[in-house]
Amino acid sequence: MTIGMTPEEQFNGKTILITGATGSFGTRFAQTILDRYEPQAVRVFSRDELKQYEMQRRFADESRLRYLLGDVRSVERLQRATRGVDLIVHAAALKQVPACEYNPFEAVQTNILGAENVLTAALENGVPKVMALSTDKCVNPVNLYGATKLAAEKIVIQGNSYAADSVSRFACVRYGNVVGSRGSVIPMFKAQAAKGFVTITDPRMTRFWITLDQAVDFVIDAICRMGGGEVFIPRIPSMRITDLAEAVAPGAEHRIVGIRPGEKLHEVLLTGDESRHAMSTQLGYVVLPHHASWPMQEVEDGVPLEGGFVYSSDTNESWVSPRELRAMAADVVATP
């Protein structure tokens, strides 16, 4: 794929706004951009004043950070926050499956209407690039969280049809479970291990697995390559939940508690239907829109996928070994 910009061209001297910037991904993304490049400013946009205060203390010597309290539910606040911005990384979301199931109206307002508001503000202010973070849960969704992220993906990709007379372009990155992120199973396994057991919903379960640093690097690459309308999917390994349990809590009893509502045995990152209009690249896959009403950037090193190809966690060619899982989980703190 032709790289539209080098990372230095994309980030040096630019103003970047990150929604959900005090979350696991947002914080690491901001730190990486500040460490590697020379942005003019990185705007931290989130609704939690305590997390912003904690982030200010962590980055006390960093003058390029700007802290903006706001909610993606407010298009007016986003319009003000995105003035003069060159890039938006949209990471804000409600992502806990049980919480979204119990509070469906809240999930819709943040995950769906929030995505629309981000695009509206970007179009209003002529923000050149918006990269939205998605999830494997949006593929053939079985819970409300996945359904809201599917809708958000559609809004972001088809939002390019509103940008015919604008410099703004929109794309998505879709990946799997992030090691050690808030809500990850590893902290729970570590806490349970101290009691001599871990709870497993179903021993057949598999998941895609990616580290936080890998996710940040892939998003940076996708931002540089995007032309507008793409869904970028990394080529990442799978892991078995039983291997993870053994790696984190060796010798602990495995208590099978049954699959939870809204949970799948296996996750899918790319469907057979999508493969008909997707490309394979060195780093992963790129899903293109069925019918783009805007000019699409050519995927020069992309190889068209055969129709029917499915990228699923249970049939993946790459797997994380127990040893690699132990290394990944080493720095994750146990939480009840």
Each domain of the chain, given as residue ranges in start order, spans 7-177+209-235+268-305
Q: Which residue ranges of the chain lie beneath pLDDT 70? A: 1-3, 180-183, 331-336
Q: Residue 190: helix, strand or coil by DSSP?
A: helix
Q: Residue 194: helix, strand or coil by DSSP?
A: coil
Domain spanning 7-177+209-235+268-305, CATH architecture: 3-Layer(aba) Sandwich (3.40)
**Per-residue pLDDT at 183:** 62
Q: Are 320 and 237 in contact (CB under 8 A)?
A: yes
**Per-residue pLDDT at 336:** 55
Label residue 70 exposed, middle or buried (CB < 10 Å: 0-12, 13-18, 19+): middle
**Per-residue pLDDT at 332:** 66
Catalytic residue among 14, 95, 137, 264: 137
Number of C-beta neighbours around residue 296 at 10 A: 13
**Per-residue pLDDT at 279:** 96
**Per-residue pLDDT at 1:** 34
Chain center to CA of 298: 24
Label residue 132 exposed, middle or buried (CB < 10 Å: 0-12, 13-18, 19+): buried
pTM: 0.94
Chain center to CA of 54: 22
- Residue 137 is among the residues annotated as catalytic for this protein: yes
**Per-residue pLDDT at 146:** 97
